[in-house]
A and B are shown apart, each in its own frame.
Chain A
Amino acid sequence: MYRYILKRILFLIPTILGVVFIIFFVLNLTPGNPGRSILGVSAPQEAVDQLNEELGYNDPLLVKYFNYLKNLVLNRSFGTSYFTGQAVADEVLPRFGVTLKLSTIGIIISTLVGVPLGILTAVKQYSIWDYVPSVLAFLLAAIPSFVLGMVLLFVFALKLNILPSYGLETWKCYIMPSLCMAIPITAFNVRFTKSSMLESIREDYIDTARAKGAKERTVIWKHALKNALLPVITNIGLNMGGLIMGAVVAERLFSVPGIGALIVDRIAYKDEPVIIAGTIVISITFTIIMLAVDIIYAFVDPRIRAKYTKVKG
């Protein structure tokens, strides 16, 4: 079991190297350059070139890549922003904290609301407890999160004026952005959990359980649910991608100083160090969460658990 965990953690390293390389590679395919963006369109070319040279922008790709890694590992530094000249870490890390807070709230809401609701719709299929949440989930799955965000803004901030429309000063400020992120994922969880539950109930071992004389409640909660939750766990890990997108949108929409907004802003300035640092931080977190989900799954599903522990013949 621990070998499995160790193996997965070790795989993080090539993953990170790969991620950094991909980002460097993609960003370098582009026309623009930071010198021009910072000094402006009318600045003389020599000044631009000089600035680019100073920033190290003109070095070949691989040189930049290795320099970056060297800096990262030896100096524990993410470098300096081309745009603001400040240490990247000072900009990126606090914003990462903000995004992390919002995302955590988002995950908690979407899991604690979505999964039980999904179970409910499956267990009470064809009743009103099924139709209402299912239709709602269906509609919400067709609304992009920015539209959702704008509707929330419109209703709660503009018309009813009970929630603030930007910033993060009070706890109220957290409500709309996290809802904006959580709702589409909740809708997805409801539908996914429902179908997983329904599939589980149709399995043969449910017949066996009933033939034993088990109460229907036991059959559903003990037998069907345990099996249905397995794919749901994996699914929560997969939700992360959607969560990050939701974060980027919500931060833009609600003017929240998070890391998504930072990256989007700096892309225009080709501020490589910041973009790279931001992307790395997000990707690493993403990977760690997926790993955590996989490990939890391995513990919970006896079939996987058995693969990594002693197997009796």
Chain B
Amino acid sequence: MSQNVTAANPAAMERVKFKKQSQAKEIWRRFRKNRGSMVGLIMLTIIVLALVFANLITSYDAATAQNLRIKLDPPSAEHWFGTDSYGRDLFARVLYGGRTSLSIAVLATLSSCVVGCALGAIAGYFGGKVDNIIMRGLDIFMSVPDILFTMAVVFALGASMVNLLIALTLAYFTNYVRLVRSQILSLSDLEYVEAARAGGAGSARIIMSHIFPNAMGVIIVNTTLNVAKIILYESTLSFLGLGMPPPQPEWGLILSEAREYMRSAPHMLLFPALAIVLTACSVNLIGDGLRDAMDPHLKS
């Protein structure tokens, strides 16, 4: 998968692009053959479509309209998942809650990825004192277990979408830093980087066009798997009361409400739990599939 061309040669870049495209096709082919990954992909597509088009299926009011007369009803034809302790339609709540949970998760993953990769790139590329400071700082930062940090941040700044995103980014950016840094450290020595430098390519160019494409595979796999982790983490925060404030539906929140009524209304526990597990499973299947597709274990 190495690129043996300096950034300055346009014809060569064309060849490189072509190579990258056919690599992508090859990865997709391998991914497709893996049953688990395809199942994951299909499940996730269904889930995402349901969430995106939620307002065609039920209205947002259904998720928040209280009707104490029908509270804690088991699943029925009218309320597919039953109702919660305030008489709200659980299906609508799960659907709209999914929107919240998933969009937070995706945004948080992306922002932690960007922050972490940038920091890792700086540390790896410039090395020396800069690297040292960043890594030592990271060590100290990681001495505070994430949950404590997140709790402190969320309560310090208050519970809102942006603050939650900040807290989640801070919790998850660290694994990208190490990842990208080690990729750069192991790749910088390779001859094609020397060649690129000799050809006049500047530092930023080298990082962008040579080092990143090779690191990309690992980053993509990790990012995918992190989405699942953040979904779980984020719903845990909501469960603890540290996530989005009510009445905005969110899976962790719905489950924390279910806690008191488990005995009488177990459906309140079942459906949102299923939603989380199925979503996390499908994302993990895709992530694992991507990892296997990018690095087949066959040693023929």
Residues of chain A touching chain B, judged by Cβ–Cβ distance below 8 Å, are 11, 14-15, 18-19, 22-23, 26-31, 138-139, 141-147, 150-151, 153-154, 158, 198, 202, 240-241, 244-245, 248-249, 252-253, 260, 263-264, 267-268, 275, 279, 282-283, 286-287, 290
| Residue B46, interface by CB 8 Å | no
A145 CA / B252 CA spacing, docked (Å): 11
Residues of chain B touching chain A, judged by Cβ–Cβ distance below 8 Å, are 139-141, 143-149, 151-153, 155-158, 228, 232-233, 235-236, 239-242, 252, 255, 258-259, 262-263, 266, 269, 273, 276-277, 280-281, 284, 297, 299
Are the C-beta atoms of A147 and B148 separated by less than 8 Å? no
A147 CA / B252 CA spacing, docked (Å): 9
Are the C-beta atoms of A18 and B269 separated by less than 8 Å? no
How far in angstroms is the closest Cβ of chain A from B6?
Answer: 34
Are the C-beta atoms of A154 and B269 separated by less than 8 Å? yes
B140, B152, B156, B240: the one within 8 Å of A18 (CB): B140
Asked if A158 meets B145 with Cβ closer than 8 Å, knowing A147-B276, A202-B299, A264-B151, the reply is no
B144, B232, B258: the one within 8 Å of A19 (CB): B144
Are the C-beta atoms of A150 and B144 separated by less than 8 Å? no
Main secondary structure of the interface of B (DSSP, over half): helix
A241 CA / B273 CA spacing, docked (Å): 23
A19, A30, A248, A275: the one within 8 Å of B140 (CB): A19
Are the C-beta atoms of A143 and B277 separated by less than 8 Å? yes
A290 CA / B145 CA spacing, docked (Å): 12
Residue numbers in B under 8 Å from A153 (CB-CB): 262
Asked if A147 meets B277 with Cβ closer than 8 Å, knowing A23-B152, A154-B262, A252-B240, the reply is yes
Residue numbers in A under 8 Å from B239 (CB-CB): 144, 146, 249
How far in angstroms is the closest Cβ of chain A from B204?
Answer: 31
Asked if A29 meets B157 with Cβ closer than 8 Å, knowing A142-B281, A249-B239, the reply is yes
Asked if A150 meets B148 with Cβ closer than 8 Å, knowing A31-B158, A142-B277, A144-B276, the reply is no
A28 CA / B273 CA spacing, docked (Å): 36
Residue numbers in A under 8 Å from B147 (CB-CB): 241, 244-245, 248, 260
A146 CA / B252 CA spacing, docked (Å): 9
A14, A18, A27, A198: the one within 8 Å of B297 (CB): A198
A267 CA / B240 CA spacing, docked (Å): 12
Residue numbers in B under 8 Å from A290 (CB-CB): 143
Are the C-beta atoms of B277 and A241 separated by less than 8 Å? no
Closest 6 CB pairs of A and B: A142-B280, A18-B140, A245-B147, A30-B156, A144-B232, A244-B145
